[in-house]
Structure 1
Amino acid sequence: QYYDAQGLVVHSTQAGILMARALVATARQPGILQEQQTALLQEAMSLCRQAISQARQHNLQGEIYKGHYLLGGIFALQNNLLKATKHYAAAIGQIERMLDDLVYDLSPAFLHTTWAVYEDMIALRLQQSRPEKAFSTLEQARSMALRQHLYGHSIMHRENEQAGKAVSPMVLRTQYELRDWQEQHRKYSTLLAEIDPSLSPELNRDIIVIELKRCEEKLNELLERLYLYEASLPSRSPASRSRKAGRREQAASRIQRIDIAQVRQHLSADHLLLSYYMHQGKLVIFAITAEDLLVHELPDGQAELEHLLLILHANFQAQGWFGASGSQKTISRLLKKLYDLLIAPAASLLPSSSGYLTIVPYDSLHKLPFHALCDGSHYLIENYRINYLPASSLLTHLAQRNSQQNDPAETSARFPLVFGYSDHGHLQRVQDEAKTIASLLGGDCYNEEEATIARLIQQAPSSLIIHLATHGQSRLDAPNFSYVRLADGQLNAIDASSLDLQHCELVTLSGCETGLALSGGGDEQLGLARAFLAAGAASLVISLWSVEDTSTNELMQHFYQHLLQGESKVQALRSAQCNLLRQADSVYAHPYFWAAFRLVGDVGPLKYRTNQKS
């Protein structure tokens, strides 16, 4: 009442929602009488409706979704599932209208705070025995920022180019400032990597670390500012604005309206898609084929999974077991248990031998090499061609991309680009790897001091294949600064996302931890891989842990040899991994050596070689 009297509408609306939450919490307490609970919930509903009405009048978008979400929870508590569904859907609709106004890198942070709405809607759909609706809600939010960028940003980019749009002075100034700070960051990261206190006592390591941190904070600030400026740029004319807004709205509706029928359009008769989800200790598996949908729920599956993953990663990280038969047996038992938990429930829908298996992981499952799971006699990769996607709906994006890039003349004019950087001799085989692969592909090879970020930025737009053999590191504390090292510094996720890879068929990041990422809101995978996908790469080959130099060299040679024999990307990686794991007398048969790398994205063969041969 005080807030109303003072005309403080925002505070009044927020207070109403807080009071409604308190009433609902009281109504949930054990031992409360039915009549008291009903009265409390009725009062909470009245407060919610009043808050939603006020919020609409004053355009308080956040309070609108919070009011609907709370109403949905109240109706769910009363077992009125239809009305709960209605209000959860209204809350999600409001959240996505707000997401349209957020810049690319802020969406995951916002979704992190609103993710509970999607979780409750998914749980409600499963409770209603509507698994197809539960899957649609999950896919609606999964990797939304990446999907918005791929669909929406590419449309605006093409329109701006076609219109010859002048760059705003504010954008131009921010771009130059961003470039300067990136140079500073590279300088300090190179100093930190090369510092030897015994030879350079005047260089203080702590000071360099502080300067690096300052650079990272400034770069994040500039990146956010740049996205805001670009998002607010006006179009040249009202007609142009109208056409562009219409096309962007169409793109947004394609992102939001995701159903199982869209996914099935891109699944062949011998193709199974496994999409995973976890909530409140429950593990949910959606198994989808061109004809069937199977949903398997394990009430206590998340705890069992996390326990097994912890032991598995500890074994992979241990350094004293290389080649030890005891370790192999321990790993095999773990991989069998994980197979029983994650794959066996969908065994009835598994494709025939050499069929396709697409994995859409969730949360901690992004760090699991599914292709190394074992049924007791064979690894999964021995039976199937396996690729990964951050979201099932990217099948549609990849199909559209392939249909738009079928010009043989344009493809044959582009060539592979191969970099090898040994990090001052620490990686002994990367130069050999780079030279061999460049020779196989007939591409340009740059080793050591020639392998620079500047050269990559310059040549990436004309490269159909990019192979980077170097040291990599995941930065889960600051995903924008996960990197691969080149001669002039760290190529981080900010650099990678600004590359022009619209014509790139394949990016191989042959280094350590290039596929590790931080899970943000909406299960957005924040790190290097997302940056390369956002830049336009159709496929990535990336690693899940610190890889061994010599085995990686051998794996990559096999991979490209099979690619050039006409095999698809997914089959070529499968063949290369099987080559290593079937070396019975070799230490490389251990999953540590061959299972780190996985294929994300498009599975098809290289157009580059196909077109050259034709």
Structure 2
Amino acid sequence: LGPEHPNTAQALNNLAFLYVNQGRYGEAEPLYKRALAIFEKALGPEHPNTAPSHYNLARMQLQQRMFPPARELLERLTSAQLTWLLRELPLQPRELRATQLAALPDAVATTFALLDVDHGALELALQTRLNRQGLLAAIEQRQRQLAASSPQVKDLAERVAGLDRQLASVSLPAKQRPALRQERQRLEAELFRTLPSLRIEPVSSAQVAAALPRDGLLVEFQQYRPFLGFNKGKAQWGLPRYMALLLHPDGRSALVPLGEAAPIDKAVGQALEATARNNQDPRPLWRQVSRLVLEPLQPHLGGIGELFLSPDGELHRVPFAALPTSTDPQRLLSDVVRLRILTTGRDLVRLQQPAKAGGASVVMANPAYGVVAAAKSSTAAGTATSGGKRGGQQRSAELRGGLRWDPLPATEFEALQVAKLLGAGAPIEGPQATAARALQQRAPRVFHIATHGFFFPVTLPQARGDSALPALAAQEDPLLRSGLVLAGANRPELNPADDGYLTASEATGMDLEGTELVVLSACETGLADVQSGEGVYGLQRAFTVAGSRATLLSLWKVKDAATAAFMAHYYGRLRQGEGRAEALVATQAAFRHHADPLYRDMYVWGAFQLTGDWRPIQRLSSGSAASAR
């Protein structure tokens, strides 16, 4: 084939890999370099087949602690990979994008493994984090924005969305799913071939730093594994750890190691469980989380007034606004800094663009879930009580082994209060509060939904019978295992076109460009599968992809009446012109000092987390209600 053929380069690469496994690094290095030169000349530096030579040589140099050349190679590799991903991934069907991304050499993991032992790689790691965190969500958001750019594209997008709705239906027989998935992939590939350019510009750390306020600090948390070298031809990785990458407005950066992930994840899990069960004082457990996560950051927080946090791993589940400071457990983090939660620091650049004008706000609440046969006790029959929990469900043999959702009568009063404060029309309630009606909304300024939420872990055992539970819990796609419960959910078989469940997958197709805030006044709407590098695969991601600039969700179940009171107070502050984040902190503070002891529990006020734009909502303050109608 000749000395410049890609197959020759592959043979050289493989021989070099064998030499590395035998410890013959001096013989391996020139072969890797020859292979890399051939691939770059024949295929180009951004081609996927070029990447393994970059990757293998960089890992060999990392193992030999040759840090500067390893850093240079990883800079080239991460830049080439990002260019290729931004060009190619938008053209791939959604179900294949994550798979294709996973098939690439993991330059991101190797970059953070390098940073673990070479602090000179901090700028490279920061650039990598800013551009790769949440990349798939950014691509999906751009695709949705451009999907209606022409009648032809709009028709294709609607056909894909129709298949999404069919695949999301719990009533769809399993044998019909493979053919529908195949048809969806075909249509989506055709859709993206007809779209205009989907280019997403990379950002620099300098751009992000310039978007920070003068007293601001960005903290990018990152979970990673140390690289331990090769053993019998296989790369060995250490136990997961956390680090924090800090960026100041003047461009200064810092690295703060946080230690092994297992103790941190365990502490977060224990604190969450204790808080959600509301059967013990969770504050000592949250103080332990603060000691592990915040205390290492303390030397860098002097003079910081505005703190931007981009979590990773299990840190997505931490209610940071309710977390005590590491120096004074009687004070919360939100008491000492203005706290903002972001999916990625890249959002600081994106949110500089002015918001599009949204339409009238929409409130949806108190859905009619369906008729449940009367029984002797509320436990068995799901009888409604004003103290019910949003997200709670009954599982019993009497109910065909499936789910039955309790009515939430307090949401009716909540909806009336919220609609009045927003200057919205009459709330959408009862039989009208359907998934189909929710999907029809077009960019309301604020979209408030008060109902049950659900999230089914992939490991949840399937229930018996033909209920919604097996179909929802058995889905591989995490966006089909999380969502909202709406009208008809207790009788999904009655309407093949609308089973009563609005999944996160369906929500990604909504048109929320111009929506300033989505509030999911429902329990556990913040729960989802966590994927390092992409965040949480659930409702927050879905509504962000759909175009919403901010989402307010809950991390655990809260009693119905308490949620209604919390939301009324929150919207009252928004209407007075307070920022989305400030209004949340002030509402939490008010509930911590509430006259009702129940409302003073962290179980009530600590559940809600705001992600995204933290500033006031334009045209929502008192005296401007008419403009919101």
User: If the length of structure 1 is used for normalisation, what is the TM-score?
Assistant: 0.78
Distance change (3 Å), C-alpha of 1:144 and 1:173: closer
Say whether residues 1:517 and 2:518 are aligned partners.
no
Say whether residues 1:366 and 2:300 are aligned partners.
no
Match of 1:232 among 157, 168, 193: 193
Structure 1 residue 312: Cα displacement: 1.8
Partner of 2:294: 343
Contact 1:385/1:571, CA 8 A, preserved across alignment: yes
Contact 1:16/1:51, CA 8 A, preserved across alignment: no
Say whether residues 1:421 and 2:417 are aligned partners.
no
Q: Distance in 1 between matches of 2:122 and 2:185?
A: 37
Distance change (3 Å), C-alpha of 1:122 and 1:540: same
Partner of 1:202: none
Contact 1:123/1:134, CA 8 A, preserved across alignment: no
Q: Distance in 2 between matches of 1:216 and 1:289?
A: 49
Say whether residues 1:453 and 2:435 are aligned partners.
yes
Q: Distance in 1 between matches of 2:298 and 2:346?
A: 23
Once the two structures are superposed, what CA deviation does each residue of 1:61-117 show, in whole Å capped at 9, x if it has no partner?
Answer: 332111111111223334433322232233223322432212373443333344731
Distance change (3 Å), C-alpha of 1:613 and 1:184: closer
Q: Distance in 2 between matches of 1:167 and 1:415?
A: 30
Say whether residues 1:479 and 2:478 are aligned partners.
yes
Say whether residues 1:290 and 2:271 are aligned partners.
no
Distance change (3 Å), C-alpha of 1:107 and 1:307: same
Contact 1:580/1:594, CA 8 A, preserved across alignment: yes
Say whether residues 1:46 and 2:31 are aligned partners.
yes
Contact 1:143/1:525, CA 8 A, preserved across alignment: no
Structure 1 residue 602: Cα displacement: 0.6
Contact 1:147/1:394, CA 8 A, preserved across alignment: no
Partner of 1:386: 339
Once the two structures are superposed, what CA deviation does each residue of 1:438-470 show, in whole Å capped at 9, x if it has no partner?
Answer: 122221311121112232233333x11100111
Contact 1:111/1:522, CA 8 A, preserved across alignment: no
Distance change (3 Å), C-alpha of 1:174 and 1:508: closer
Q: Distance in 2 between matches of 1:71 and 1:265?
A: 35
Once the two structures are superposed, what CA deviation does each residue of 1:254-291 show, in whole Å capped at 9, x if it has no partner?
Answer: 2x2x3322122222123332211122233211233323
Once the two structures are superposed, what CA deviation does each residue of 1:189-217 show, in whole Å capped at 9, x if it has no partner?
Answer: xxxxxxxxxxxxxxxxxxxxxx4655665
Structure 1 residue 519: Cα displacement: 3.0
Contact 2:316/2:535, CA 8 A, preserved across alignment: no
Say whether residues 1:139 and 2:118 are aligned partners.
no
Partner of 1:21: 17
Partner of 2:351: 398
Say whether residues 1:88 and 2:38 are aligned partners.
no
Q: Distance in 2 between matches of 1:396 and 1:173?
A: 31
Q: For 1:110, give the aligned amino acid.
A: Q
Say whether residues 1:575 and 2:586 are aligned partners.
yes
Contact 1:436/1:557, CA 8 A, preserved across alignment: yes
Q: Distance in 1 between matches of 2:141 and 2:161?
A: 22
Q: For 1:470, give the aligned amino acid.
A: T
> Please, what is the CA RMSD of the aligned residues?
3.2
Q: Pick which of 563-572 and 101-110 moved more.
A: 101-110
Partner of 2:306: 356
Contact 2:144/2:509, CA 8 A, preserved across alignment: no
Partner of 2:601: 590
Consecutive unaligned residues of structure 1, counting only runs of 5 or more, are 28-35, 189-210, 235-243
Partner of 1:129: 120
Say whether residues 1:442 and 2:423 are aligned partners.
yes
3-state SS in 2 of match to 1:391 = coil
Once the two structures are superposed, what CA deviation does each residue of 1:489-524 show, in whole Å capped at 9, x if it has no partner?
Answer: 111123211111111111101112212232336334
Partner of 1:119: 109
3-state SS in 1 of match to 2:353 = helix
Q: Distance in 1 between matches of 2:338 and 2:105?
A: 33
Q: Distance in 2 between matches of 1:85 and 1:184?
A: 45
3-state SS in 1 of match to 2:619 = helix
Say whether residues 1:101 and 2:88 are aligned partners.
yes
Structure 1 residue 598: Cα displacement: 0.7
Partner of 1:70: 56
Contact 1:132/1:259, CA 8 A, preserved across alignment: no
Contact 1:429/1:549, CA 8 A, preserved across alignment: yes
Contact 1:581/1:590, CA 8 A, preserved across alignment: yes
Contact 1:451/1:486, CA 8 A, preserved across alignment: yes
Distance change (3 Å), C-alpha of 1:357 and 1:332: same
Partner of 2:222: 277
> Percent of counterpart pairs with the same letter?
23
Structure 1 residue 178: Cα displacement: 4.9
Q: Distance in 1 between matches of 2:106 and 2:603?
A: 36
Say whether residues 1:264 and 2:217 are aligned partners.
no
Partner of 1:495: 506
Partner of 2:469: none
3-state SS in 1 of match to 2:221 = strand
Q: Distance in 1 between matches of 2:105 and 2:271?
A: 29
Distance change (3 Å), C-alpha of 1:534 and 1:25: same
Partner of 1:182: 165
Distance change (3 Å), C-alpha of 1:540 and 1:214: farther
3-state SS in 2 of match to 1:459 = coil
Partner of 2:462: none
Structure 1 residue 223: Cα displacement: 4.5
Contact 2:483/2:539, CA 8 A, preserved across alignment: yes
Q: Distance in 2 between matches of 1:563 and 1:457?
A: 25
Q: For 2:108, give the aligned amino acid.
A: Y
Q: Give the total of aligned pairs.
A: 535
Contact 2:48/2:104, CA 8 A, preserved across alignment: no
3-state SS in 1 of match to 2:360 = coil
Structure 1 residue 56: Cα displacement: 5.4
3-state SS in 2 of match to 1:61 = coil
Say whether residues 1:539 and 2:550 are aligned partners.
yes
Q: Distance in 1 between matches of 2:54 and 2:338?
A: 44
Contact 1:286/1:293, CA 8 A, preserved across alignment: no
User: If the length of structure 2 is used for normalisation, what is the TM-score?
Assistant: 0.77
Distance change (3 Å), C-alpha of 1:422 and 1:313: farther
Once the two structures are superposed, what CA deviation does each residue of 1:156-214 show, in whole Å capped at 9, x if it has no partner?
Answer: 45xx63xxx3416xx847843752662574462xxxxxxxxxxxxxxxxxxxxxx4655
Partner of 1:194: none
Q: Distance in 2 between matches of 1:107 and 1:498?
A: 17
Once the two structures are superposed, what CA deviation does each residue of 1:561-584 show, in whole Å capped at 9, x if it has no partner?
Answer: 111111111111111112222237
Q: Distance in 1 between matches of 2:536 and 2:8?
A: 37
Distance change (3 Å), C-alpha of 1:173 and 1:538: closer
Partner of 2:262: 303
Q: Whose helix proportion is higher, 1 or 2? A: 1
Contact 2:363/2:415, CA 8 A, preserved across alignment: no
3-state SS in 1 of match to 2:352 = helix
Q: Distance in 2 between matches of 1:522 and 1:475?
A: 21
Q: For 2:188, give the aligned amino acid.
A: Y
Q: Distance in 2 between matches of 1:88 and 1:581?
A: 49
Contact 1:115/1:521, CA 8 A, preserved across alignment: no
Q: Distance in 2 between matches of 1:143 and 1:303?
A: 23
Distance change (3 Å), C-alpha of 1:519 and 1:310: closer
